[in-house]
Structure 1
Amino acid sequence: MSEKHLCIGLSLSPTWLNGWGWRKKDSSAERIFSADFYIELTKKAEEAKLDFVFKPDALFLHPERVNVSPAMGGLDPTLLMTMLAEHTSQIGLVTTVSTTFNPPYVIARQLQTLHRLSGGRAGWNIVTSIEGADNFGHKNMPSSEERYNRAKESVEVIRKLWRSYPAEALLVDRAEGIFADKEKIHPIDYKGDFYDVKGPLNLPAHLAGELPLFQAGASDAGREFASGVASGIFAATPTIESAISYRQDLRNRAMSKGRDADDISVLPGLSLFLGNTTAEANALYRDAFAHLSHEQQLAMVRRILGVDLSGFAKEDKVTAANIPHDNQQMHSKTHAELLKDYIVKNEPTVQQLLSRPEVISSAHWIIIGTAEEAAQQIEYWLDKGAIDGFIALPGGSISSLQLFFDELLPLLVEKGLFREEYESDTFIKNLTKQKN
């Protein structure tokens, strides 16, 4: 058994609504734009001593899909986390902000505000965005290379801004008449390829220290960026082999940048289809995607890889030769690379390919079974060096979420893999304790 404790976060995106899950009577689908829904969920997560709650974000809506799903719609995560700070006291609050569409000064100020209002519990999931350019006056999305270069520079500026008004500069010395020590507050006078920022920031840092950064680095550029700045790295690792390889690569890259390998925690998304029996869990998984027609699955493959399989029979093999070298339609590099790798290694039939999680659901690690079966698999992945923790993505039904809290987490505590109590009231210290 591993002596290391898991770092566990919960996605506040209601993943159990995916597919036809939102149609279940107990899904709470009508509450996903209301405050009380997230307050209840986050309080439950804090009672379970989770490291953090996390809200992904997208700056666009797919109107053509909104009749059958939330279609990427959602509340602003930073405003949501600020509200949740008032209803919690120890759990980490990880918001998502895009460096492609937001200037560094605004990001630095909003995050520092959340950090202070939450008492040192904020975290930032850095995204470069893959869609939404036309909502910000741009005709096209910048290239992946440009987005990551911009993100790297943005983080550099933001960190300088956070340090430009350090916590110890705030004195509020009534006797001497000194509100803040101006000698400790300084402009940053930053000039880069994308940003010119004078500074300083107009509010002090929090005594807890800088908030932890998170990122989902999948491509080579993404991994380089994430391994240099992130405390936690979100990952799509559908197999244990891909998880081990990914984690080792990120640890090696971190060390090459002068960091300790344990400075980062690799946290794959974990889609949990939990039932009271294995058969019940399997039924949940089948039902979640039963609405997808053969044509819709073919369209998803075409969207991910640019491969048109409409003329293929279900038993025909799909090989590397069928994958275009320059796929201009590629929506997500993560999904594309995982699906390419699967095709190259396995040469599946069309039917096998269409049933892949990357096609019908997501590229995440999936566990379908009872809470006990899930605990065993999580322990196995931890022991094999595949993970440092995970982001819980309950699927199929809200019952998966309930079993996650009521059965799976207590089992992980019983196995000595997860905490019974928080070690600190600040997020960064709780993250550090989990690694020790």
Structure 2
Amino acid sequence: MTASRKLKIGMSLAPTWLSGEGWRRPDSGVEDLFFSDFYLDIARRAEAACLDFVFRPDTLFLRPEVLDKGPGFTSLDPTVLLASIARETTHIGLLSTISASFLPPYIIARQLQTLNWLSKGRAGWNIVTALEGQENFGLKDMPSAEERYEHAAEVTAVVKALWDSYPHEALRMDRATGTFADPTMVGPIGYQGTHVTVSGPLNIPAFGKGRIPLVQAGASPTGRDFAASVADAVFASTPDKAAAIELRHDLRRRAEAHGRSSGAVRLMPGLSLYLAETRKEAEDLFAETHARADRGRQLAAVSRMLGLDLSTWPGDRRVTSGDLPEPPASPRSRTHAELLFRLIEREAPTVSELLARPEVIGSGHWQIIGTVDDAFEAIRDWSESGAIDGFIALPGGSVGSMHLALERLMPRLVDAALLRDAYRGTTFLDHLSE
């Protein structure tokens, strides 16, 4: 990637600055967490910065045991939330997360096409297969990763077929002839697959200004191949530049193998930003945010991913690849387990260092703790190194960190020709195509 190419940048609507101790800060706004104005403020700030989209991640389960210390997985429905934002914004894309494992494809297709109409072409689908929540949908156990992606591929194909089943061109709305739509252009899809059977057609027409972009979250080998076959972008955990370069190269190679151009899939890792006026303030912000981190849960996370019990190890003992047992056959997240293995192999961190890593305490995202200048230099370096096509901003620790990301970091990227200075199109697909 050359520095002249514009990065594709999204802003998370999951208020990561409320995690840990962040929600306890006087300015956190946590009391408004379940009102749309809380998220509308973020979306308006992101649109003022000319970002490509706002993004709402989602889960379909709750862990009551963590609610004493923070919101955990408490969450509004992302598609309904984005619909409330659609009327109050004009350009920014609206990326909703919907599980292909749990929701029927007809519902997925209808929800997203509805959002697409309400936003005049700004809807997008973040396709997830889910890691948990099966008990809320009549399943005793989660299927294997391979089964989940096979199911997701089928659901995605059905959703796309449903969007095509009632084309925009079928609409006539001809008062003179009394023709609302041409029924010869609308028809069933008659899909009968291994996992789903759907007749169709969809009962809402396509919006008609380009297709709805698809984003895929995950970086396992199966997930990579799925993304390379259908996705416009990948939201992945890449805690270091080498991991990002490898993933981006692999996605481009896999896209070509599926008959697509190498640049058809854009790598947009999550970027966790703890920003402050000075590095010391940023480091203090990070430390304060994680002051009550549960060591027991961190140790359990390492054990689940690597099969390694560190509960009796001193904090200053280094963990090397030689310490690792045979990995669990079915880790909760194969992607995170592989990231942890790479970290230990590369750095041999101490136990304390390992437990503080984003792969353990969070989602394994690229992390910058420092000033706006620090963040700008790191982003420019990753861009010039061909590690990314963009990123999804995940500010942490405080509202101030979020404001610094949108109001000072993004203008720096504009000045460096890494981010647009104005919208050239009106749809989400327009933004990704620039």
SS of the residue corresponding to residue 142 of structure 1 reads: coil
SS of the residue corresponding to residue 123 of structure 1 reads: strand
How far apart are 1:172 and its partner, in Å?
A: 0.7
**Of 280-289 and 250-259, the range deviating more from structure 2:** 280-289
Q: How does 1:102-251 map to 2 (within 5 A)?
A: 102-251=103-252
SS of the residue corresponding to residue 276 of structure 1 reads: coil
How far apart are 1:326 and its partner, in Å?
A: 4.4
How far apart are 1:390 and its partner, in Å?
A: 0.5
- Counterpart of 1:23 in structure 2 is 24
- Counterpart of 1:346 in structure 2 is 347
Q: For 2:432, give the aligned amino acid.
A: L
Q: Distance in 2 between matches of 1:357 and 1:202?
A: 43
Structure 1 residues 137, 81: CA separation in 2 closer, same or farther (over 3 Å shift)? same
Q: How does 1:237-276 map to 2 (within 5 A)?
A: 237-276=238-277
Contact 1:289 1:361 in 2 (8 A): no
Q: Distance in 2 between matches of 1:366 and 1:235?
A: 13
**Of 304-313 and 375-384, the range deviating more from structure 2:** 304-313
Q: For 1:253, give the aligned amino acid.
A: R
Contact 2:49 2:407 in 1 (8 A): no
- Counterpart of 1:312 in structure 2 is 313
Q: For 1:325, give the aligned amino acid.
A: E
Q: Distance in 2 between matches of 1:293 and 1:74?
A: 22
Contact 2:227 2:265 in 1 (8 A): no
Structure 1 residues 361, 164: CA separation in 2 closer, same or farther (over 3 Å shift)? closer
Q: RMSD of aligned C-alpha atoms? A: 1.4
How far apart are 1:321 and its partner, in Å?
A: 4.2
> Structure 2: where are the runs of 5+ without partners?
none
Q: Distance in 2 between matches of 1:297 and 1:193?
A: 39
How far apart are 1:294 and its partner, in Å?
A: 4.2
Q: Distance in 1 between matches of 2:316 and 2:205?
A: 63
Q: How does 1:260-299 map to 2 (within 5 A)?
A: 260-292=261-293, 294-299=295-300
Q: For 2:269, give the aligned amino acid.
A: P
Deviation string 1:124-153 (CA, Å, 9 cap, x unpaired) is: 000111111111111111111111100000
Q: For 2:371, give the aligned amino acid.
A: T
1:78 to 2:76 alignment: no
Give the fraction of aligned pairs with identical amino acids, expressed as a percent. 50
- Counterpart of 1:98 in structure 2 is 99
- Counterpart of 1:62 in structure 2 is 63
Structure 1 residues 293, 149: CA separation in 2 closer, same or farther (over 3 Å shift)? closer
Structure 1 residues 179, 296: CA separation in 2 closer, same or farther (over 3 Å shift)? closer
**Of 150-159 and 41-50, the range deviating more from structure 2:** 41-50
SS of the residue corresponding to residue 432 of structure 2 reads: helix
Q: For 2:320, give the aligned amino acid.
A: T
**Of 2-11 and 330-339, the range deviating more from structure 2:** 330-339
Q: For 2:398, give the aligned amino acid.
A: S
Q: For 2:70, give the aligned amino acid.
A: S
Q: For 2:38, give the aligned amino acid.
A: F
- Counterpart of 1:405 in structure 2 is 406
Deviation string 1:149-196 (CA, Å, 9 cap, x unpaired) is: 000000111111111110000011111221111111121111110111
**TM-score if structure 2 supplies the norm length?**
0.97
**Of 341-350 and 383-392, the range deviating more from structure 2:** 341-350
> Structure 1: where are the runs of 5+ without partners?
none
Question: How many residue pairs were aligned?
Answer: 433
Q: Distance in 1 between matches of 2:164 and 2:295?
A: 54
Q: For 2:352, give the aligned amino acid.
A: Q
SS of the residue corresponding to residue 126 of structure 2 reads: strand
Contact 1:305 1:329 in 2 (8 A): no
Q: Distance in 1 between matches of 2:251 and 2:307?
A: 29
- Counterpart of 1:390 in structure 2 is 391
Q: Distance in 2 between matches of 1:203 and 1:236?
A: 35
Contact 2:276 2:401 in 1 (8 A): yes
SS of the residue corresponding to residue 215 of structure 2 reads: strand
SS of the residue corresponding to residue 27 of structure 2 reads: coil
**TM-score if structure 1 supplies the norm length?**
0.96
Q: Distance in 2 between matches of 1:294 and 1:141?
A: 27
- Counterpart of 2:375 in structure 1 is 374
Q: For 1:374, give the aligned amino acid.
A: A
